[in-house]
Amino acid sequence: MSHIDLVEKSELLVEAMGCWPSFHDARVLSISRLQNSCVATIHVFEMTREVDSQGYFILRNHHRIEMSMLGVHSDSLPRHYTGDVLSALAIRREGDLIRVDFESHLDNDGSIVCERVRLLGVDPCGGDGVV
C-alpha cells in the first residue's frame, strides 16, 4: 500500500499538482492540535530543473494544503511546531495505525501516529504560501 492510499482525498493533491509531491523543502505553516486530532497546514510546490539569475531553482505550482490526522495516539512534534522546512513527509502503515513522519531540515523531526489521515483542502497560493 502506498502512502497515497493511506491519505483520504489524496486525489485532490494529485489533481492539483499532477502527482503526489515529495514534500522536499515544503514549509510547515502551522499545526493545530484539538483533543485527539491534529491539522497541519503545509506549503508545497514543484521544483523545476531551471535556475534563475541568482542560481536558485525555479519553483512553480504552489499550493497550500491542510491535512488532518484523526484519532491521534501519539505526537512527538515540538510543542510550538511552525515554520519548519521538511526534507520529506513520510506516511506509512504501522500495525492498525498510520504514522506520519515530519522529517525536518532544521532538526525538528517528529511523528504523529493516528487512525486516519485526510486532506481537508488544497488551494493554489503564492510563493510565500499565502492563499
pTM (predicted TM-score): 0.91
Domain range list for the chain: 4-124
Asked if pLDDT for residue 127 goes beyond 80, the answer is yes
Q: State residue 27 phi and psi, 5-degree precision.
A: -110, 125
What is the Rg, in whole angstroms, of the alpha carbon atoms belonging to the chain? 14
pLDDT tens for 18-62 read 999 989 999 999 999 988 999 999 999 988 788 888 888 778 899
